[in-house]
Chain A
């Protein structure tokens, strides 16, 4: 009996060790990096299904200008803009400062600031998204607590400061040290994942303009220029990264947390391919 138990113990110890080793291997940054590099070599860009012009023609024919008209009549997300402006002037944190203390009344000096985000930041090191930049500023410059992602205040402040760049073209740079993160973002965009084995690109490049049941699959132009955006399906305002997570859920894939490295790299890649699109915040989408 005792011998049996000790055998059993040995067995479990072995099993635990094997599990631990595989787990460590799966999460070790070295292993992940090696896999990324391998994928980088094999990435093959897909051919777009049709021009953006042709896609837009189909969109108009199928949906009409419903959301555009709704946005004109009054985007529910507009309410966040006023609250965001108040937050920009509100003194918070241990250093007795507000955004306005450095960036002028209503933070107006930040006009145009959003056009170059996401950008490489050597202090991370990695990709600094606009939302992460605002929270970093709050912590380091104001001594204030970071705002919880997707919370009302976080979305309001991000939206307000981003709206100061409305009408200006996105101009994200992928030069120098930013390049590897752009490549990683591209891999994230092209990698097949989840139980359904989809990638962002297979739908939004190769099959954009076709219908998945009654949804017209959107072309990836203008995907990054209107966030935070009001979305009818949510009945709420949300960020691009929330949208990413929604898409990953539909793909039955693993969903990394908001502002995780993968989602920041993905946002970087997508915003770069939207360079030249005019920022229009808040957006209104189905």
Chain B
């Protein structure tokens, strides 16, 4: 009985592997796409996630902070070609400004690369 079950699992093995590979291929285009702006907005405005509004102005938020620049104004200066700079500001702003107060969201693992991607996608929706 136990042997049978063992064999059954052995047979399922290769099929499971194939399924995983198929799933990964299916998921590939998703991760290659730009992030999810809606998720990004939630990350920006949630205290336990990005909490950007603690320091930055963002629209539709009650009393945002005024420590950092207004992000609507700031985003007007960036084109899609600068996307990696916007990512870098969030990942670790010390590259641009060594004495910055801004937490290194990527380096210190406050946000995952995927979350930063979503966040940046949201920020680009602020461009007029």
Contacts and interface: CB of A to CB of B under 8 A. Distances in A.
A210 B104 contact: no
Interface in B32-64: 53-55, 62-64
Interface residues of B, number: 15
B66 interface: yes
B13 interface: no
B69 interface: no
B67 A211 contact: yes
Interface in B69-109: 101, 103-104, 108-109
Nearest to B93: A197
A196 B67 contact: no
Interface in A208-247: 210-214, 217
Given A197-B104, A206-B101, A213-B63, 12 more contacts: A195-B103, A195-B108, A196-B108, A196-B110, A197-B108, A203-B101, A207-B67, A210-B65, A211-B65, A211-B66, A213-B64, A214-B62
7 contacts: A196-B110, A197-B103, A211-B65, A211-B67, A212-B54, A212-B55, A212-B67
A52 interface: no
A213 to B, nearest CB: 5
Interface string A175-213: 000000000000000000001111000110011001111
A196 B53 contact: no
Given A195-B108, A195-B110, A207 B63 contact: no
A214 B101 CA distance: 18
Nearest to A203: B101
B103 A210 contact: no
Contacts of A195: 103, 108-110
Contacts of B67: 207, 210-212, 217
Contacts, number: 36
B3 to A, nearest CB: 22
Given A195-B108, A196-B110, A197-B108, A213 B103 contact: no
Contact of A213 (B65, B101, B109): B65
B100 to A, nearest CB: 9
Contacts of B108: 195-197
Nearest to A251: B103
Nearest to A215: B65
A202 B98 CA distance: 13
Nearest to A199: B101
Contact of B63 (A203, A210, A211, A217): A211
Contacts of B63: 211, 213-214
Contacts of A198: 101, 103
Nearest to B94: A197
A211 B65 CA distance: 5
A11 B1 CA distance: 37
